[in-house]
Amino acid sequence: MSNILHVGLNCKEPILNMPTTTSIPNKRWHLAFTAIYSSRALYSLLNQKKKSRKLPVPSNPSFVVLNVKPEAFSSIDHTTLTAIVKDKNFNKLLEFGGIEGVADALETGIKNGIDGSVNDVAFRQEAFGSNTYQRPPAKRLFHFVVEAFKDLTILILIICAALSLGFGIKENGAKEGWYDGGSIFVAVFLVISVSAVSNFRQNRQFEKLSKVSNNIKVDVVRNGRRQQISIFEVVVGDVVCLKIGDQVPADGLFLDGHSLQVDESSMTGESDHIEINSHHNPFVFSGTKVADGYAQMLVTSVGMNTTWGEMMSKISRDTNEQTPLQARLNKLTSSFGKAGLAVAFLVLVVLLVRYFTGNTEDENGNQEFNGSNTKADDIVNSVVRIIAAAVTIVVVAIPEGLPLAVTLTLAYSMKRMMADQAMVRKLSACETMGSATTICTDKTGTLTLNQMKVTKFWLGQDPVEDTSLISTDLLNLIQQGVALNTTGSVYRATSGSNYEFSGSPTEKAILSWAVLELDMEMEILIKDFTILHVEAFNSEKKRSGVSIRSEADHNTVHVHWKGAAEMILAMCSSYYDASGRMKDMDDGERMTFEQIIQGMAASSLRCIAFAHKQIPEEEHEIRETSQKLEEDSLTLIGVVGIKDPCRPGVRKAVEDCQYAGVNVKMITGDNVFTARAIATECEILRPDQGIYNEAVVEGEVFRNYTPEERMEKVDKIRVMARSSPFDKLLMVQCLKQKGHVVAVTGDGTNDAPALKEADIGLSMGIQGTEVAKECSDIIILDDNFASVATVLKWGRCVYNNIQKFIQFQLTVNVAALVINFVVAISAGEVPLTAVQLLWVNLIMDTLGALALATEQPTKELMERPPVGRTEPLITNIMWRNLLVQALYQIAILLTLQFKGESIFGVNEKVKDTLIFNTFVLCQVFNEFNARKLENRNVFKGIHKNKLFLGIIGITIILQVVMVEFLKKFADTERLNWGQWGACLGIAAISWPLDWVVKCISVSKKPFLSYLRWQEHHFLLYVCTKI
């Protein structure tokens, strides 16, 4: 044993690879290791001894390698560092050695970031925590069960069931007396269970969507390579790249960047943008938004150690959002509820009067109430039974299934839209999209692939085919303008590996062209020049500029501009020709350059120009006080043309929208010729449309119209080029004033006002900034216009499915109310028991909603015009369908009630069962009719909806069980084959009846407007007489 231990201990130094000379702390670590290892070795030997009878001892000793590592980051107190950043304590930061000292303590390279290996990331997460926050616990199923119990009608039914159960057991004993009350309890339990499970599932779906929407992609630098990771994977020590529109993923310190301004309103409530720099305010906070500029930051705190994490851990997403359609349905439900209460009250009064006047009989034909001779228990039991019947009428009368149908429809459509690359952030957008009359779409990435490539390059007035012929000085200027005036980056692991380009698609296209075609060495250029000042690109200026100084020449400052070709051209007074000579630019040559740019734009190319100016150091120092770059008398270096091909399928998607009566307008920052070429290719424009017939307009022109001119011309405009975010907002406002329901796509921070103003804001999932996504209602995950068309189709489907269910449910409501009222008044009894009515209620509310709410979009939906804002929810077509079916059911069931015994030759119990069975089967057959509001072929496409067929099958099976096997529970009698056939035959007549009814045309004028018209004229008549 001692030999083995000796060998093991001798191996510790080679294993740990530790030096023989150690400091006092390291000696302590050695002693600690020796103790730990010795105990492990002894324990191992003891285990081997126990197993020695079964297993031979190996000749070579085995070693246990322990990863004994001194505590990392021991030179920094993370709690103190977190407090310094939260409190913006600049003096304390300097005591830490400034930003560089913090980076060293966190073992981070300011330029290359952390190592980024799996072990490194895991170790940092263990030491500092992960970038996640504790969410409030999700609502459990029990919460929704409790919510369902709060329904007033459910509470009344439970009280009635309890009283009925108590009196029933007292009167008939526990074996027989529990049927009435127990059956009501079971029915109430089913209703509550279905409601609670439905709401619970919707809540879970919201939680999943919330996790997806919070999973933001963040640019970080790890091991010298810029890469995208999930926000949840950010760790302390990471170097994060920030640009306009980004959400800051963690607390940290400003490392490097230019013109960085952040919006801290989410944290402080102040709307003013805060400037971040390394000299006065290097503190950056999680949850804030980048308003301008770009930068790199060093992460110092993540997750629950940030103020944002603490705030978000206390906030749960509200899933009780009520959409406009749900609000309208609640009003409808309230109206029917009031009517149901009135009917139920009348029935209650009639039944009580008939009972107490001795006009009712029990099962044996004896008078139920006989004055003082009647027991108190019998009176209470009868009154409870009457109240339960009246309450059940209220339950059936109130279309509680409508909110459930909306919930199911929206939840189902949200799930399917997610699969179709559209993530719904606001429920109301689902239904509003069905009413959209105009879609204002971006060009880049939405109509096009966003896969940009430089295909044309002009130097002076000549196209360049061979870049080797460019003069060295001019080539150097081009490379400087590309490498130093960019927010992108170039990474190459080894000299033989491929380049990786990061940044926006335009930046990546220009960088790849410069590196691969012009042999640009970006790292060398960055080392050879110092960046003095930067003006970052934004969608208003449409250009970016930089001033630089060469390390070799401190007396000269170079200013480089890059941006929209015609805007850069307007800033130039001279140009370089292909040989590198500078020439003055007169009006004729300026016209030539404009024609070159227009020619490239007409070929669907995005034109980017480069310009340069050299200024003395003294002049630069004077201008530095104003923080503005030289913008006048520049020299044009060259123009590149970037091709971004149209997405496949965009033309068909545009055609589908136009065929559906939805206008598609393209709003882009590109020049008018590029915009017109792309719009024509996508068929937003016809070839004969253009500037002269007002179909194409520039943003500045539209902006300068008078309000009256804008309102007059906005419908004619198909394309708006060179537009600013304000122009987009202005167009949305004009369209809404004209009564349009407007959907707008946007990806930039400056698109936020238009996205908020629009009825439906659609942000881009790939290119969209976090600010744009937060202001939007739906996120298009693949940035594809075809997905926008899919959202439109689903929006119409949601509205249509809800209308189907309204027609189906109101048919049952009207029939049930009229039948119960007429029979109660005339016969003094309710033909359908409480349990039977609750069963019908369950079919209507839950199974019916599930069957009709999950119908998928059809081609016919896109052949109809958009649904107007003021169009009634219940159309004349729906009134026609539901009234005819309800009248048929009323006529049949009243006939069975008063003549059923003689027609079928049966007793009263069988007659009541025939009424119940026929009523339920009528709803089953009518469910098919509700699938198509106008189309006479109600079976079209039914084979595609397996859920509908499954629910119909389940409903029929359960009905058979109710009638044939649950005699005492459902208060039914068994039916023979002939009686079942009669019930099915009567119910099946609703199919041909529906076919005939749909041949009758109806007026488009809303049915209820006739009533209002009659009421108005009646009041006028009364006033004139008075």
Active-site choice (246, 263, 442, 759)? 442
Q: 697: helix, coil or strand? A: strand
The residues that bridge with 296 in the sheet, in sequence order, are 241, 256
What b/e string do you get for 336-355 counting C-beta neighbours within 10 Å, with b at 16 or more?
bbeebbebbeebbebbeebb
Write down the residue that tokens 């000579």 correspond to.
581
Q: Burial, 281: exposed, middle or buried (Cβ in 10 Å; 0-12, 13-18, 19+)?
A: middle
Instruction: Quote the CA–CA distance of 817 and 820 in Å, as a whole number.
Output: 5
Instruction: Quote the CA–CA distance of 506 and 486 in Å, as a whole number.
Output: 10
Instruction: Quote the CA–CA distance of 383 and 386 in Å, as a whole number.
Output: 5
SS3 content of the chain, % helix, strand, coil (to 5): 55, 15, 30
Instruction: Quote the CA–CA distance of 293 and 806 in Å, as a whole number.
Output: 53
Nearest C-alpha neighbor of 852 from the set 922, 933, 921, 795 = 933
Instruction: Quote the CA–CA distance of 268 and 378 in Å, as a whole number.
Output: 69
Residue 283 carries which side chain, given as an amino acid letter?
Answer: F
Residue 325 has which token pair? Answer: 């359609």
DSSP 505: H
Backbone angles phi, psi at 225, to 5 degrees: -115, 130
Residue 137 has which token pair? Answer: 């616990």
Positive/negative CA dihedral, 108, 109, 111, 114? negative
- In three-state form (DSSP H/G/I as H, E/B as E, the rest C), the secondary structure along 348-367 is HHHHHHHHHCCCCECCCCCE
CA angle, residues 953, 954, 958, in degrees to nearest 5 = 120
Q: Burial, 625: exposed, middle or buried (Cβ in 10 Å; 0-12, 13-18, 19+)?
A: exposed
Residue 329 has which token pair? Answer: 């349905």
Kindly give the interhelix angle for 908-930 and 990-997, rounded to the nearest 10 degrees: 40
DSSP 109: B
Instruction: Quote the CA–CA distance of 662 and 865 in Å, as a whole number.
Output: 8
Instruction: Quote the CA–CA distance of 596 and 730 in Å, as a whole number.
Output: 32
DSSP 448: B
723 within 8 A of 668, measured Cβ to Cβ: yes
Positive/negative CA dihedral, 851, 853, 854, 860? positive
Query: What is the number of other CB atoms lying within 10 angstroms of the CB of residue 32?
Result: 11
Which DSSP string corresponds to 148-215?
Answer: HHT-HHHHHHHHHHHHHHHHHHHHHHHHHHTHHHHHHHHHHHHHHHHHHHHHHHHHHHHHHHHHHHH-
Instruction: Quote the CA–CA distance of 1001 and 1003 in Å, as a whole number.
Output: 7
Query: What is the number of other CB atoms lying within 10 angstroms of the CB of residue 175?
Result: 8
Positive/negative CA dihedral, 616, 617, 623, 629? positive
Q: Where are the alpha helices (DSSP H) in 504-580?
A: 505-518, 522-528, 565-570
342 within 8 A of 318, measured Cβ to Cβ: no
Cβ neighbours for 921, distance < 8 A, ≥ 6 positions apart? 959, 983, 984, 986, 987
442 is catalytic: yes
Q: Where are the alpha helices (DSSP H) in 682-724?
A: 699-704, 707-713
Q: 492: helix, coil or strand? A: coil
Catalytic residues: 442
